[in-house]
Structure 1
Amino acid sequence: MKKLVCCLLMVFLLLNVTSYGAVADLLGTAKTAKAEDVESVITTESTKEITKNADEYKARDAFYSLSDSSVNRATSEHFQIIWGNNDTTGTVNRNFVNGNLANIESIRSFYMDKFGLGDIGTSPNPQISGKYKTNIYIASTGLKKIDEDWAYMSIDRDAFGYIVMMPAAMRVDPPSWVVPHELGHVFTYHNGGEVPYEWYEAVANFLRNEYLGSDYYSYGGTVYGPDSDFFAPFILNSESHFPHVKNWYDAWPILLYIHENPDHINGLGHQAMLNLLSYSGKDTTYFESMEKVTGVSIKELLGGMARRLVTMDFKSQPYYLKHLDELLRTNGNYEKIYTTLKSDKGGWLTVPQNKAPQQTGYNIVPLDIDLSKASVTVDFQGTSTAKGADWRASIVSVTHSGDTRYSTMWNKGKNSLKLQGDEKTVYLVVSATPDTIKHFNIEEDGETYPYKVKVTTK
């Protein structure tokens, strides 16, 4: 991602000074394939449909001339895969390249036709017109003009997003999870939204997870979806602000909450997510952007998201719960995921200093209560002296049949939840939602927001 930041700066500098005519030899429509065992145009039975309009998107290359015999090329309707003549892995062959073209066309189709993102075949540079194939460069094959790395997205001098991946990141069957992540970066960039650097990875993982949950996640007639990724580092560091270096790839539950709108809040939903990804405002934090795009207070977004993490109460709940169960089998993870409050004088329970949530962080607190009672009441008191300190708390019950019930959210004083006799466990969820959410670098820790509670039943 450091490459992405550098390239973004280069793009902004070059947009008004780069002459497209100066690289005219890179924009021809000829297709070449140096390697004898790779076709230049994919025409296999499984990809005839996606290549029938191949002339609409032209081939181009900002690094190598299209007539350069030192590189090999293969194209589909919307993509061009480029690799050198020194494959050090021995894995790049006709089936490998063709399979990757088929897979990436399927991912593109999901992102555009199903999810509704805009095209990635046009340049943000107003001097460049027309539609062009997105380039994928295979590392470890002798491409000396391309920086070697496992997998990354960057931007070339003509302001097109491109992808570099090592062969091991490009598994064909089942389709690699790396490819939809990197293509997610390309879509994020080309859709024009002002997505901060520290959010790029979470957005890409969110988009990938939407693809994994669909029947587009398939190859050769075998459908592997629906499936799901998980956000383990996010819940293992729940008290931390996000995005933090400990959780920034996995800070996408709030995007899930906006997109799925499980609480049926006006302003949230699929269109809100599309609007966020194309929102070009430059705000202090992405949380501020979320508020402006949705019209919903970030306090309500954070509180609503956090309480649903008790039972992973989202569309892919069965998959998330399976991952959660696997995490809990590892010694020490229970104490990371759940917060045990300390007894204090007067019947109060206080949050341990090391578990007090930072801004946007949260605690899931199991409540040790008599479940035969009619209701549980929590008296919540924030104890932070910081200016603008605030919280969102909610009582959450889980039934033996797996249903989840929620109290209203509140930030001070008493609130209750009725018990119906079928509960298995009850939790208190507390999110730190200060009036002003500050911007932190991903390496920085934030100020903590301690609290105390008194729990009673009747």
Structure 2
Amino acid sequence: MDLGDGIMIYVKTGGGSIIDSVGYIDESVTGSLISGRKIGEIAVAGRLYTEIHTLFMMARNENRRVLNWYNLGYSGGGRFNAVGGNFGNFGFDVPLDERNTRYPLFDTIAGLPSLCFDGNNFLKSGYAAETDITGGESLSIEMWVYDENPTAGEVIMGWQSEDGTSASAPLAWPAGIAGNDRWRHLVVSCGIVTETWYLDGEVVSSVPREMRIDPGHRIVLGGTSENTASFDGCLLTLRVHRDSITPAQVVHNYRGGGMLGTTLKFNYDPLMTPSDDKAYFTWSDADPGAAFMVVSEHFDQRVSLDWINTWLAADKDAFYARVPDMLELAEACYENYGSFHALRLPVVSIHPKYRGDGIKYRIKIGTTDGANFMGWHDQLGFGYGMQFPGYFNPHELVHGTQAQTGSGMQGNYWEAHANWPQTYMGMYQTVPSFLEMRDQNLFEASGRSYYHARLMFQHLAESPEYGPLFISKMWFDGANTAYPWITFKEIDPDPLTPLGYEFGRMVQKNVTWDYTIHRPLNPDDYYDPDLYRNNVRDNYEVAVVQGYVLLDSISGETGWLRPPKAKIPQQTGWNIVPLEPEGSEVSAELSGYRNEERGSSWYGGFVSVNNDGISRYSDIFRDGESLSFTLNSDEPDLYFIVAAIPGNIMAVDMTGDVKSDAQEPFPYKVRFTGVQQRDMFREYYAKKFENISGHIHANGGGFVDNRAIVSATAYVGPGAYVIGTSQVLDSARLEDFAVVENSTVEDHAIVSGHGNVTGNSSVSAYARVRDFARVSNSSGLTEYGKVAEHASLESGNGNTNSGYTTMKGIAIKYDGDASGTAMIDHHFAKGQDITRGKWFSWSWGSGRNPGEEDQDFNGLYMSMSFEEDHPFMAWDDHGINWGYLVNGASLVTDPAYGGVLS
């Protein structure tokens, strides 16, 4: 409804319904710093340096202790941003064991949400007073306070230096005024000469100016300083005005009550020009008759009626029916993100020039033709979500809060994090366990799984030393688009457990996926408490190949083992090594191949699992150390974990050169006692095929399903399986522990090692599948094509690798043909046709990244010029086929020959 001058005001809705407009806004109060419209409710003296209200972004822990409270005023920000300051420092202003005594309590007092102090707790701001309110400059302090029995010397708030060693401008309950059991409006208006105190709109004193804030001091709620807490009462709101407030303004704000200024307004861009663009209808309220608008307490969605009228009648009905659920979900996200995760919600701008007018805005639910993405109004500084009308995507609103909170993480982590806060409402938009297990040795948040890479966030959130608010602290205090684990090291509140220790603990959880799975908001919705475990079980045939590491023995180093090259962890990568205990006492000694420039370091540990599937963790130990572990009698399963966390953490470009310093491999060595390695691949297939009727093949002694066809001339070795309707024909060979299931291997093709051909796939001519490689999903491998190491050819649609193609590492090819002399290696994951060149990394569908080349190298596989000096690698200039330097070999320069090994 148009109320004149384009002003449209909407009332709060309980659960999200379509509502009508009511009333006009008081034209006498503050205008919007964004639009200039007189839509404010609070009378503001100048601007609000600080405004906090218990309704907005007050994050608390499970014990209702308030650990973070965002400033809605114009001042403050994180270490690298000016998005608006905060109180409480996300719970890290005191040690962990003091959080539930030193931080104040969230409660409901006289029907209003309240921040309550007991005389021993405090809440400190993270930003210093602006110079225009320090010393003798004018300012006003306004609050709604509840104190039934104020005592002499009881200070409600003060200002202190950053370290708390000096204090200024304490504000105590007015002398001679008794307390009572209701909320009181207290104002101190400081002019150049005089300070005037008001209580409930009436002057109670006017004295020469005494209250002066020292430069650099910051607000402390609850006492004169953090070390002298004394306030025993509650706060509802605090406003610090940049100027002295007038008596009329005081009366206005008193009569408005404690909830004045809490009704959110329509956010309007005054520079929007009319168009058919959906953003125009989102951000303009001109011509209200042309738009359909729905509103809840904190959100609105505005959709062009012309667009709606192009829809089929059934689609219109479906849209209208979706609206209440859309708004209900949006409101649930608002509460979860702001009150539990301390994400800064887009109710005020991130730009200081638009903050401080006391106005808060409803959050946009932007609209698209069907795509989902983050909406961002750069000029005004508001983030929000974009989706089809009538839907609400929690992921996209998280993106909006990320920008509002400070943009303190690298781009790929925006996606990893955007699938995490909503899990606390039982909404799992991605399930991380299988993909993270498959890609475990890669740098975290690689392109292959970055939408799923939240396990470290979840581990830290579920660790009391950190908690969920620490993740938001990284957004708030990290440099713009910073690599999060660099930020972690800079702000770690518990340096006794460094980053590597925490990664080790996280990997221990990944053995049996010991993470909390939250229940959905609707108790009638399906709940799977074993969601992560079942995600791995549902994909176990791949997980058993890619998710567990069978270590290699090291020639000349008795007892020492190391990972195969394809599974060597990069920075933040990890391995899970299954073990078979020989008794109750086991031990491990951890070492590795060091690059001092990167500060190579590894963190390891054991995980035992009992007969009920319950895990138990050893201590975490580092390279250069040994660890012993005693198994209980009911713990038949044992695993060793290791994480590579170098001392020199580097930002890793998701599509960067795999041979860059940031993507260096970190090969470790381990020596066990009391265990043997456990071959999960052989164990899995032996169990899977144990009840299949079959026979022993005469040529080789391997197992052949009675449904399969195997030529007498084909070789099936004693550890190999031919299962289902497979055909092994001509002179084909299955060696070692090869498995062929419902597929064909023919001609002179060879499948060896733990190679696996499955899913109606074919391997023919002189092709080779070896190591832990897998050909699946109706893929073809022919001519002289090779798939080796832990690579997976799963192109489907009859796509084929042919010619002299080589595919290895942990590469995945999920679409397209490969031919010629193409070399596909490392963590390649693309779906394009390839005829030549070298390809090493992930692209979204198709692409070519740094270090990849699309040219014919005439079959060149490896080239070593010895011009690259490295502490443990003999460098491959062409590909990734480096070798270990052994027996003291080192790189020297010979004038006649260039680089040589000595």
Give the 3 Å change call, closer, same or farther, for CA 149–229 of structure 1 in structure 2.
Answer: closer
**How far 1:210 moved relative to its partner?**
2.0
**How far 1:412 moved relative to its partner?**
2.3
Paired residue for 2:291?
71
TM-score where L is the length of structure 1: 0.76
Contact 2:608 2:615 in 1 (8 A): yes
**How far 1:97 moved relative to its partner?**
1.9
Distance in 2, Cα, partners of 1:383 & 1:40: 67
**How far 1:382 moved relative to its partner?**
0.7
Structure 2 residue corresponding to 1:244, chosen from 434, 446, 451: 446
Paired residue for 1:60?
267
- 1:417-436 to 2 correspondences below 5 Å: 417-436=629-648
Distance in 2, Cα, partners of 1:420 & 1:30: 67
More divergent stretch after superposition (406-415 vs 234-243) = 406-415
The runs of 5 or more residues in structure 1 that have no matched partner are 1-24, 33-37, 44-51, 141-147, 171-177, 218-226
- 1:134-153 to 2 correspondences below 5 Å: 134-140=363-369, 149-153=371-375
Give the 3 Å change call, closer, same or farther, for CA 420–429 of structure 1 in structure 2.
Answer: same
Structure 1 residue corresponding to 2:419, chosen from 205, 212, 229: 205
Paired residue for 1:447?
664
Structure 2 residue corresponding to 1:341, chosen from 541, 551, 554: 551
Structure 2 residue corresponding to 1:303, chosen from 497, 504, 510: 504
**How far 1:326 moved relative to its partner?**
1.6
Contact 1:360 1:432 in 2 (8 A): yes
**How far 1:413 moved relative to its partner?**
4.1
The runs of 5 or more residues in structure 2 that have no matched partner are 12-16, 23-258, 270-279, 518-528, 676-902
Structure 2 residue corresponding to 1:131, chosen from 326, 344, 360: 360
**Greater strand share, structure number:** 2
Paired residue for 2:490?
292
* Post-superposition CA distance 1:48-72 (Å, at most 9, x none): xxxx999811112433431234432
Distance in 1, Cα, partners of 2:578 & 2:535: 20
Give the 3 Å change call, closer, same or farther, for CA 238–27 of structure 1 in structure 2.
Answer: farther
* Post-superposition CA distance 1:84-140 (Å, at most 9, x none): 232457255322223211221122122223444444211112232411111112222
Match for 2:327: what amino acid?
Answer: L
Paired residue for 2:377?
155
Give the 3 Å change call, closer, same or farther, for CA 210–197 of structure 1 in structure 2.
Answer: same
Match for 2:512: what amino acid?
Answer: T
Paired residue for 1:222?
none
1:399 aligns with 2:599: no
Give the 3 Å change call, closer, same or farther, for CA 125–112 of structure 1 in structure 2.
Answer: same
Match for 1:450: what amino acid?
Answer: P
Contact 1:55 1:77 in 2 (8 A): no
Paired residue for 1:180?
394
State the SS of the aligned residue for 1:423: coil
1:313 aligns with 2:520: no
Give the 3 Å change call, closer, same or farther, for CA 120–39 of structure 1 in structure 2.
Answer: same
More divergent stretch after superposition (73-82 vs 148-157) = 148-157
* Post-superposition CA distance 1:323-362 (Å, at most 9, x none): 222221xx32211111111234423322100000000000
Match for 2:8: what amino acid?
Answer: T
**How far 1:160 moved relative to its partner?**
1.1
Match for 1:67: what amino acid?
Answer: A
Contact 1:235 1:337 in 2 (8 A): yes
Paired residue for 2:326?
100
1:113 aligns with 2:92: no
- 1:338-417 to 2 correspondences below 5 Å: 338-345=548-555, 346-370=558-582, 373-385=583-595, 387=597, 388-410=599-621, 411-417=623-629
State the SS of the aligned residue for 1:56: coil
- 1:37-48 to 2 correspondences below 5 Å: 39-41=18-20
**How far 1:193 moved relative to its partner?**
5.3
Give the 3 Å change call, closer, same or farther, for CA 243–386 of structure 1 in structure 2.
Answer: farther
* Post-superposition CA distance 1:379-432 (Å, at most 9, x none): 222124463211111111111122222222222243211111111311111111
State the SS of the aligned residue for 2:485: helix
Distance in 1, Cα, partners of 2:482 & 2:320: 48
Match for 1:403: what amino acid?
Answer: I
State the SS of the aligned residue for 1:93: helix
Paired residue for 1:35?
none
State the SS of the aligned residue for 1:248: coil
Match for 1:80: what amino acid?
Answer: D
Distance in 2, Cα, partners of 1:61 & 1:435: 49
Contact 1:120 1:191 in 2 (8 A): no
State the SS of the aligned residue for 2:292: strand
Give the 3 Å change call, closer, same or farther, for CA 41–230 of structure 1 in structure 2.
Answer: farther
Contact 1:394 1:408 in 2 (8 A): yes
Comparing both chains, which one has the higher relative contact order based on Cα–Cα distances under 8 Å and sequence gaps of 6 or more?
Answer: 1
Match for 1:309: what amino acid?
Answer: N
Match for 2:303: what amino acid?
Answer: W
**How far 1:204 moved relative to its partner?**
1.2
State the SS of the aligned residue for 2:322: helix
TM-score where L is the length of structure 2: 0.40
Distance in 2, Cα, partners of 1:150 & 1:243: 20
**How far 1:377 moved relative to its partner?**
1.3
**How far 1:305 moved relative to its partner?**
1.3
1:29 aligns with 2:8: yes
Distance in 2, Cα, partners of 1:28 & 1:360: 53
**Greater helix share, structure number:** 1
Distance in 2, Cα, partners of 1:390 & 1:229: 31
Contact 2:478 2:484 in 1 (8 A): no
State the SS of the aligned residue for 2:307: coil
Give the 3 Å change call, closer, same or farther, for CA 54–325 of structure 1 in structure 2.
Answer: farther
1:166 aligns with 2:405: no
Contact 2:604 2:643 in 1 (8 A): yes
Contact 1:27 1:60 in 2 (8 A): no
**How far 1:195 moved relative to its partner?**
2.6
Contact 2:409 2:484 in 1 (8 A): yes
Structure 1 residue corresponding to 2:459, chosen from 243, 257, 261: 257
Distance in 1, Cα, partners of 2:416 & 2:568: 24
Percent identical: 22
Give the 3 Å change call, closer, same or farther, for CA 421–281 of structure 1 in structure 2.
Answer: same
Distance in 2, Cα, partners of 1:424 & 1:407: 15
Equivalent pairs counted in the alignment come to: 385
Distance in 1, Cα, partners of 2:516 & 2:367: 35
Match for 2:295: what amino acid?
Answer: T
Distance in 1, Cα, partners of 2:547 & 2:444: 16
1:192 aligns with 2:406: yes
Give the 3 Å change call, closer, same or farther, for CA 228–139 of structure 1 in structure 2.
Answer: closer
Match for 1:79: what amino acid?
Answer: F
Paired residue for 2:522?
none
Give the 3 Å change call, closer, same or farther, for CA 428–79 of structure 1 in structure 2.
Answer: same
Paired residue for 1:22?
none
Paired residue for 1:144?
none
Contact 1:151 1:166 in 2 (8 A): no
